[in-house]
Chain A
Amino acid sequence: MKIIVCLKQVPKNDSILRINEQGTWIQDRDLTYEINESDQYALEAALQLKEKHGGEVIALSLGPARVQTVIKEALARGADRGIHLEDATLDNLDAFGISTAIAAAAKAEGFDLLLTGLQSDDYGYAQTGVIAAELLGLPHATIVMDVQATDGGIRVKRELENGFFQWVSMPAPAVLTIQSGINTLRYATLKGIMAAKKKEIKKLDAAGLGLDTASLTPKMQFRRVYVPVKSKQTQFLEGSPAEVAAKLIEKLKNEARVF
């Protein structure tokens, strides 16, 4: 089974988050990074499928030079090779643009399964896998908890609401978005980290994939990012109990408008 796992590099959850000068996102320079949480479970699911059925796991990441650490970590955990999609014109894309680039890279490579995490810890769109599947004309399943190989396809367990699950049989190739916490993540071993140094990381750019970057200009923009403003207020009402009660009624009626 040839599995491509999409890995996004996101700010660590203990990073210091400061809003940038334009007020449109967080400052890059304060950040340390890690692999997006649900993507880690997607990688682990891919590695377990490979261990069971053989094949190949390819780690794919889009972004500037720093995202190579994400690919290297995947290689250290057992992925066979990496693909780094690096192009300045592909920075700052929206979900549609990211999905388009990923779909193009995955199509060029060919695969049985394309896995992504359920959603990213930074933007949280939960769109990448779904849009990529649509662009590739392939079936997809979201919020996947388990993946089993069947003759000519796969069987996946999806999480529904209220503790319900759904088993879906689907043909391969397919695109799956993986839920966090579905397996036990392995540690990158010292030997694995050493071995990763010898594994291939292929670089791809927009031109190499025949992408029309002008058409990927974000259709969505951040207007303002801000820390929620505290709106709680405390007022002390003074006077006799009867006066205070009257003032309270007045405020509930005219300011809080509760009746």
Chain B
Amino acid sequence: MRPDVDFFNLESQLSDEEKMMRDSVRQFVNERIKPIIADCYEEGRFPLDLIPEFAKLGLLGSNLPEKYGCAGINNVAYGLVTQELEAGDSGIRSFVSVQSSLCMYPIYAFGSEEQRMKYLPGMAKGEIIGCFGLTEPNSGSDPGSMKTRAKRVKDGWLLNGSKTWITNGTIADIAIVWAKVEDENDKIRGFIVPKGTPGFTAPELKHKLSLRASVTSELFFQDCLIPEENLLPGSGGLKSPLMCLTQARYGIAWGAIGAALDCYQTALEYAKNRVQFNRPLASFQLTQKKLVEMFTEISKAQLLCLRLGRMKDAGEIEPVHVSMAKMNNVNMALECARTARSILGGNGIMGEYGVMRHLCNLETVFTYEGTHEVHTLAIGRHLTGLSAFE
């Protein structure tokens, strides 16, 4: 089992339950994910057969209430869970993040009680898989410019448009789709679109060189008739999907630590064992500098996340806090992955070490769920009161 980087004894700040949850997921990742992930990545395959095991462990919608078949864990525990999953692979963590934060959360937050009871227990069991459709080919960082439209018709809503970069799209049973409602002044609202709805297709995006153990798709809607009861009644405005993204980004900020830890531990072991010029690499000053910098940045990211999680549990965070954590920690993890790759030399590019896989994954994580740049500008806006991107 991977020993922790815990320079500031954060272990003492975690409850027994939080530690137990982290350790249980870590054990699962070590036993069930790590042995297969290099092959999954190489084959461009998400391990679908593990979904029932994710569900059994309680990973899907874990921080939602027990009433809906979920575990009802706190935000720190949820963060620790995503950290462990991403130590396995960003694609695995992405699956859980999307199911939990981007599909189950909006149904919980904006859905009717009837919708919650209809979907959430099945989603917690992994019997209903969800995806989240916000980004479009021409609307990335600027989701307000989306073209997807819903028009009121006699039996519900007529949906037209397309979405892209949709995690889980092709394997999903339902899509949470965000569209401008023509009859409501183009207000953005959320719809539950079931797989098999006439006019709805979800082809997979092939030839990705990153997040290869994750399904990424496009969604197309051509005159899709969406029943009235599939509108998320509490949704209204761009704020609704952004609230979902804040949940997911919170998990990503923790997840990045997991990827960074895996890279750091791999590099440390390698540096201690690899001998050149009759000395282990770890004895060279340049290597030590690299290791110390990784270790320091991971320690800082851990402090940031624990404080963020405690604030989130107390209901004290603003989205800008999550922006800083996502921006800092993913960038940190990406740097760690690059540094670890350089310590491993040629071996760093090989699948058996996982470092290059994390590195390629993190290039995506750097950009998705709010680009590094836009999170930077969100913090800039917070500091100056001036928006640099709107």
Known interface pairs A14-B1, A187-B28. Does A193 touch B20 (Cβ–Cβ under 8 Å)?
yes
Stretch among A44-52, A67-75, A248-256 lining the B interface: A67-75
Does B58 interact with chain A (Cβ within 8 Å)? yes
Give the chain A neighbours of B3 by CB distance below 8 A. 14
Known interface pairs A14-B3, A194-B73. Does A69 touch B58 (Cβ–Cβ under 8 Å)?
no
CA distance A197 to B72 in the complex (A): 12
Q: Does the CB pair B20–A187 fall under 8 Å?
A: no
22 A-B contact pairs sorted by A residue (CB < 8 Å): A12-B1, A69-B16, A69-B20, A72-B16, A72-B20, A76-B24, A187-B28, A188-B21, A189-B24, A189-B56, A189-B57, A189-B58, A190-B58, A190-B59, A190-B62, A191-B71, A193-B20, A193-B21, A194-B66, A194-B73, A196-B17, A197-B17
CA distance A46 to B39 in the complex (A): 37
Chain A residues touching B, range: 10 to 19
CA distance A29 to B288 in the complex (A): 27
CA distance A191 to B28 in the complex (A): 15
Q: Does the CB pair B16–A188 fall under 8 Å?
A: no
Q: Which A residues have a C-beta under 8 Å from some C-beta of B?
A: 12, 14, 68-69, 72-73, 76, 187-194, 196-197
Q: Does the CB pair A191–B58 fall under 8 Å?
A: yes
Q: Does the CB pair B66–A187 fall under 8 Å?
A: no
Give the chain A neighbours of B176 by CB distance below 8 A. none
Query: Helix, strand, loop or mixed for chain B's interface?
Result: helix
Known interface pairs A14-B3, A68-B16. Does A187 touch B27 (Cβ–Cβ under 8 Å)?
yes
Bits for B211-241, please: 1 = Cβ < 8 Å to A, else 0. Answer: 0000000000000000000000000000000
Determine the residue in chain B with the shortest Cβ distance to A196. Answer: B17
List which B95-140 residues lie within 8 A (CB) of chain A: none
Q: Choose one: A68, A72, A190; the contact of B71 (CB below 8 Å).
A: A190
Interface size of B in residues (CB-CB distance below 8 Å): 21
CA distance A192 to B24 in the complex (A): 11
Q: Does the CB pair B57–A190 fall under 8 Å?
A: yes
CA distance A188 to B57 in the complex (A): 7
Q: Does the CB pair B24–A188 fall under 8 Å?
A: yes
CA distance A14 to B62 in the complex (A): 30
Give the chain A neighbours of B16 by CB distance below 8 A. 68-69, 72
Give the chain B neighbours of A72 by CB distance below 8 A. 16-17, 20
CA distance A154 to B348 in the complex (A): 55
Q: Choose one: A12, A68, A187; the contact of B57 (CB below 8 Å).
A: A187
Give the chain A neighbours of B256 by CB distance below 8 A. none
Closest 9 A/B residue pairs (Cβ) = A190-B58, A190-B71, A188-B24, A191-B71, A191-B58, A189-B58, A187-B24, A193-B20, A190-B62
CA distance A12 to B19 in the complex (A): 15
CA distance A76 to B19 in the complex (A): 12
CA distance A190 to B78 in the complex (A): 10
CA distance A73 to B27 in the complex (A): 14
Known interface pairs A14-B1, A187-B57. Does A76 touch B71 (Cβ–Cβ under 8 Å)?
no
Give the chain B neighbours of A191 by CB distance below 8 A. 58, 66, 71
Determine the residue in chain A with the shortest Cβ distance to B27. Answer: A187
CA distance A191 to B61 in the complex (A): 11
Give the chain A neighbours of B19 by CB distance below 8 A. 69
Does B378 interact with chain A (Cβ within 8 Å)? no
Q: How far is the CB of A34 from chain B (nearest CB, A)?
A: 9
Determine the residue in chain B with the shortest Cβ distance to A69. Answer: B16
Query: Which among A73, A188, A190, A191 has the greatest number of chain B C-beta atoms within 10 A?
Result: A190
Q: How far is the CB of B338 from chain A (nearest CB, A)?
A: 28
Q: How far is the CB of A53 from chain B (nearest CB, A)?
A: 23
Q: How far is the CB of A7 from chain B (nearest CB, A)?
A: 14
CA distance A240 to B361 in the complex (A): 65
Give the chain B neighbours of A76 by CB distance below 8 A. 20, 24
Query: Which among A72, A187, A196 has the greatest number of chain B C-beta atoms within 10 A?
Result: A187
- Please give 13 more A-B residue pairs, beta carbons under 8 A apart, in addition to A76-B24, A190-B77: A14-B3, A68-B16, A69-B20, A72-B17, A76-B20, A187-B24, A188-B24, A189-B56, A189-B58, A190-B59, A193-B17, A194-B72, A196-B17
